[in-house]
Amino acid sequence: MNKKVRVLLIGAAFSADLHMDGYARCTDIAEVTAICDKDVSRVEALAERYGLRNYKVYDNYEKAIAEADCDIADICMPNFLHCDAAVAAFKKGLHVISEKPLSTTVEEAARMVEAAEKAGKKLFYAEDWLFAPAMNKALAVIKEGGIGKPLYIRARECHCGSHSPFAQTLKYCGGGCMVHLGIHPVGFMLALKEGSWTELVAMTSGGAETNLVHKQMEGEDWSACMIKFEDGTSALLEANYVTTGGMEDVIDIYGTEGCMHIDLTFSSAISCYSMPGLSYTVEKAEITTGWSKPAVDEKFNLGYVGEIRHFMECCLKNQDAKTGLRGIDGLEALKVVNLIYKSAREGIKIVNPKLISKQRGSSYCEK
């Protein structure tokens, strides 16, 4: 492999912009050599925004994977396209980055993991929370014993709702707010506890007419899950599309000797009052007039910059990403999200067969 990782960026919309900012900050080890999107004007706009010059443009991802001069394919397309694009890239001998969730179904996510293993290539799972500076500082405080032993964690990602047409139907997205937003707290907790959850119980708004606000959306617009872990820690994981005023990424950690409150999105050092309104404050903010806390470096603070550099370094060394950022981690997170949906749909507590069955011979689900 070259000294720089050659990147094929598949998709040129919202998530591609988040990743492109990361590539723009690690040009010492990465080079975007091609961008693909069915809307070529979006490719041109993205490249212009980041000053990209020497790159090829494609409007078909299969053609791009077959022809582009690259080492890794970064998939920033709608959820239902992740699997086919990843499998094609592995057949070409490329490494793959997949945006969250890994796919729309557990079966397709497993197919992606298997394809990576068969090709001898790496599947990287883009979970940005694990590189958020505030989150890493909080984890360092826990490691040094600053709040004692964590007992209870509350983590949520919420905003006013996705306007993407692909997020409105289960066929294209795989669920509602839990699979789109809750996948972050789910993935974070699984990484923190090395997947050792024991039981969970959940509720959702149900989708469509039973939703709190978004009646046109097939998936739920509110979801919450109580989950327990092998070490005794409990967590409340929440996601919703009914939060106005901007995206909330908030984690509260309660320990035996202290507590911490982590705000990834509204922790700006700036407080601003504007009568005409600002061009931008924070992600998903409906208005920018009045008092606001404009983000200083949102993409860095949410972890995207560190995430992309980590993937590039792993690609150069041909090594796995850290726990929480591997394909298998994305698969496990999607499995838990699907069990959250099962718990809410059937009104049952679900126990983890990998752990509980060894302890007391329990069944997979309990009424």
- Per DSSP, the residues of 343-362 read HHHHT-EEE-TTTHHHHH--
Q: What is the mean pLDDT of residues 199-221?
A: 97
Q: Which domain holds residue 204?
A: 130-302+334-351
Same domain, 137 and 121: no
The CATH number of the domain where 60 resides is what? 3.40.50.720
* 161 belongs to a structural domain: yes
* 184 belongs to a structural domain: yes
Has residue 23 got a pLDDT over 60? yes
Has residue 300 got a pLDDT over 70? yes
* 361 belongs to a structural domain: no
Q: If you average pLDDT over every residue of the chain, what do you get?
A: 95
* 363 belongs to a structural domain: no
Same domain, 162 and 292: yes
Same domain, 87 and 188: no
* 359 belongs to a structural domain: no
Helix (H) or strand (E) holding 237: strand 234-240
Give me 332's structure tokens.
């496990």
Same domain, 146 and 208: yes
**Residues 129-182 pLDDT 10s:** 999 999 999 999 999 999 999 999 999 999 999 988 899 999 999 999 999 999
Same domain, 102 and 136: no
Give me 23's structure tokens.
């590539």
- Apex CA 268: angle with CA 263 and CA 273, to 5°? 125
Same domain, 191 and 312: no
* 290 belongs to a structural domain: yes
**Residues 39-97 pLDDT 10s:** 999 999 999 999 999 999 999 999 999 999 999 999 999 999 999 999 999 999 999 99
